[in-house]
Structure 1
Amino acid sequence: MKKFFAAALLLVIVVVAACDTLDERFVFYINKNKELRLTPKLPTGKMLELDTITIITHADTTFERNRTRAAFVQEITLDKFNLSLTDSTKQDFDFLESADVYMSADGLDEVRVAFIENNPANDSTLNYSVNLNRTNTRLDEYLKKEAYTIHTRLVLREKVDTVLNVVTTIRFKVIADPF
């Protein structure tokens, strides 16, 4: 009886460990980086719409490289949205009051995917990078399209003194079944 119990316990442990391995095996990330430019003439205290960024997905290739297909994708969510200044000697992000990021694609509604409200201005710490909060919106259909568009809306707390190049780092988490 003890041998049977030990064997059953061992079998349960192996099955649970195998399930954890399978879950990890079919999770992958899609990383995108794009650059935005902020000019000194932008007004403060008003919502500003920056130039839209169109991102070609190469979805079929991306999914195939990760041993899956669009039909097998279970869920795609935004995992990270970061803004970083490329020339941090000019200015930090204290000028930024808030930001809203929206995503759209052909035939799909525009959805809010990331935001920051009341970005803290801190004179004692230089703030060259800002992580935005995610909305946890499912983005499966957007990343299966040929392209999607990112719309960024900002409210500036103070004027930008010089042209600033901002790198947008976007990372999506994909959960999919294998081929």
Structure 2
Amino acid sequence: MAKANHMKKILFLIPLALLFLTAGCEKIDQLLTFYIDDTQNIKVAGNAVVGLIPVAPVAVTTRSEERFKNEDTRADLVKDVSLNKLTLTITDPNNENFDFLESVTIYISTDQSDRVALASLSPVPTGQKVIDLKPSGAKLDKYLKASGYTLTTEARVKRAVAQDITMRADSRFKVTADPL
């Protein structure tokens, strides 16, 4: 009888121990995950015609070592970086919206050979001054660990643009790293 009670206790404690271990691991992962927000301006030239238009690349200095240090980690301990969110907002002119855009894709690169899609949206909804692009899901570790990267925008315009349009790109990167 004592052996049966002992087995019941063990069978009761095993799921309880697994629950604590699982909850503990999730809590550790949360402590090692943080977000890096970044804002850049992208300008569409006022002489844009219908079709795929070139948009000037935007060079970004990451200051990643400083950001990692603030989170009690460093670049060699970063194990996963992904784009969590990318929002475009028209900042100038005030009366403009995204009706001129058919589709937009933003790429990230550190040089000419490693360009990957960061986020895109097609079709672009009408009547909007703010749009959220869909993250590509690309692994972005090397880009945020670098001293800088370049954002390149491919925009397909559905109506001619008479004046320069400035958009603010607000991006949020999810970073998971080991602690120091």
| Alignment partners' CA distance in 1, 2:10 and 2:105 | 59
Choose the corresponding residue for 1:10, options 16, 26, 30.
Answer: 16
Q: 1:50 aligns with which of 55, 74, 88?
A: 55
In the other structure, the counterpart of 1:172 is: 173
The alignment partner of 2:151 has SS state of strand
Unaligned runs of 5+ in 1: none
Tell me how far 1:15 sits from its aligned partner.
1.4
Name the SS of the counterpart of 1:30 in structure 2. Answer: strand
Cα offset, 1:71, TM superposition: 1.1
Q: Distance in 2 between matches of 1:108 and 1:162?
A: 33
One-letter code aligned to 2:39: N
Q: Contact 1:108–1:142 (CA<8 Å) still a contact in 2?
A: no
Q: CA RMSD in A?
A: 1.9
CA contact (8 A) 2:98 2:125 kept: no
Task: Deviation per CA, 1:135-176: give whole Å up to 9, x if none.
Answer: 111011111111100011111111234332210111111111
| Alignment match, 1:35 | 41
For the Cα contact (< 8 Å) 1:100–1:116, is it kept in 2? yes
Which range moves more in the overlay, 134-143 or 158-167?
158-167
Within 5 A, what are the aligned runs for 1:64-143? 64-87=69-92, 89-106=94-111, 109-121=114-126, 126-143=127-144
Partner of 1:159: 160
Shift, 1:108, TM fit: 5.3
TM-score (norm 2): 0.87
1:81-138 deviation digits (Å, cap 9, x = unpaired): 21111257411111111112111114851112211222233xxxx3111111221110
Structure with greater Cα Rg? 2
Which letter does structure 1 place at the counterpart of 2:35?
A: Y
Q: Secondary structure at the match of 1:86?
A: strand
